[in-house]
Structure 1
Amino acid sequence: MKAIYDLPAPAKLNLFLHITGRRDDGYHLLQSVFMLIDWCDTLHVELRHDGQLSREDLTTPLPADDLVLRAARALQAHAAPGQGAHIGIAKHVPAQAGMGGGSSDAATCLLALNRLWNLNLPLSRLAQIGLKLGADVPFFLGGRNAWVEGIGEKITPVNLPPARFAVAKPPEGLDTRLIFSADDLERATPVAIISGFAADSEQLEATNLGNGVYDFGDFGHNDLQPVAQRLCPAVTDAIEWLGLQGLKARMTGSGSSVFAKMPQSPQETKLLEAPRGWQVRQCDNLAVHPLWGWAT
Structure 2
Amino acid sequence: MTRLTLPAPAKLNLMLHILGRRADGYHELQTLFQFLEHGDELSFAVREDGEIRLHSTLDNVPHESNLIVKAARKLQALGSCPLGADIWLKKVLPMGGGIGGGSSDAATTLLGLNHLWQLNCSEDQLATLGLSLGADVPVFVRGHAAFAEGVGEILTPVDPEEPWYVVLVPQVAVSTAEIFSHPELTRDSLPIKMRPVPKGNSRNDCQAVVEQSYPEVRNSLNLLSKYTEARLTGTGSCVFGAFPSKAEADKVLALLTETQTGFVAKGSNVSMLHRSLQKLL
Tell me whether the two structures share a fold, i.e. TM-score over 0.5.
Answer: yes
Map of 1:81-100 to 2, 5 A cutoff? 82-100=82-100
1:3 positional shift: 3.7
The equivalent position to 1:288 in structure 2, one of 267, 270, 279, is: 270
User: How many angstroms apart in 1 are the aligned matches of 2:229 and 2:15?
Assistant: 13
- Residue number in structure 2 paired with 1:28: 27
Deviations 1:127-186 (A, max 9, x none): 111000000000000100000000011000001222111100110110001100011000
Per the TM alignment, residue 38 of structure 1 is displaced from its structure 2 partner at its CA by: 1.1
Query: Which of 241, 246, 250 in structure 2 is aligned with 1:260?
Result: 241
Contact 2:40 2:91 in 1 (8 A): yes
Structure-1-length-normalised TM-score? 0.87
Moved more, 262-271 or 98-107: 262-271
Query: 5 Å matches for 1:39-78?
Result: 39-57=38-56, 61=59, 63-64=61-62, 65-78=65-78
Counterpart residue type for residue 256 of structure 1 = S
**Number of residues paired by the alignment?**
274
Instruction: Confirm or deny that 1:131 pairs with 2:112.
Output: no
Higher strand share: 1
Q: Which residue of 1 aligns with 2:4?
A: 5
In structure 1, C-alpha distance between the alignment counterparts of 2:181 and 2:146, rounded to whole Å = 26
Identity value in percent: 38
In structure 2, the residue corresponding to 1:78 is in which secondary structure? Answer: helix
Residue from 254, 257, 280 that aligns with 1:274:
257
Tell me whether 1:172 sits opposite 2:172 in the alignment.
Answer: yes
CA contact (8 A) 2:40 2:93 kept: yes
Closer, same or farther: CA 155–268 of 1 in aligned 2, 3 Å: closer
Letter in 1 for 2:136: D
SS of equivalent residue, structure 1 residue 182? coil
Alignment of 1:86-125 (within 5 A): 86-125=86-125
Alignment match, 1:203: none
The one-letter amino acid paired with 1:12 is K
Normalising by the residue count of structure 2, what TM-score does the alignment of the two structures yield?
A: 0.91
Q: Secondary structure at the match of 1:172?
A: coil
Which structure 1 segments of 5+ residues have no match? 198-205, 207-215
Q: Hey, what's the Cα distance between the residues in 1 that align with 2:145 and 2:204?
A: 18
**CA 1:188–1:121 in structure 2 vs 1: closer, same or farther (change >3 Å)?**
same
SS of aligned partner of 2:42:
strand
> CA contact under 8 A between 2:34 and 2:145: conserved in structure 1?
yes
Query: Residues 233, 51 of structure 1: CA spacing in aligned structure 2 closer, same or farther, 3 A cutoff?
Result: same
**2:232 paired with 1:251:** yes
Which residue identity lines up with residue 107 of structure 1 in the other structure? A
CA 1:179–1:267 in 2, change beyond 3 Å: closer, same or farther?
A: closer
Assess if the C-alpha contact under 8 Å between 2:143 and 2:273 holds in 1. Answer: yes
CA contact (8 A) 2:4 2:112 kept: no
Equivalence for 1:19: 18
Q: Distance in 2 between the 1:265 and 1:171 partners?
A: 24
| RMSD over aligned Cα atoms | 2.1
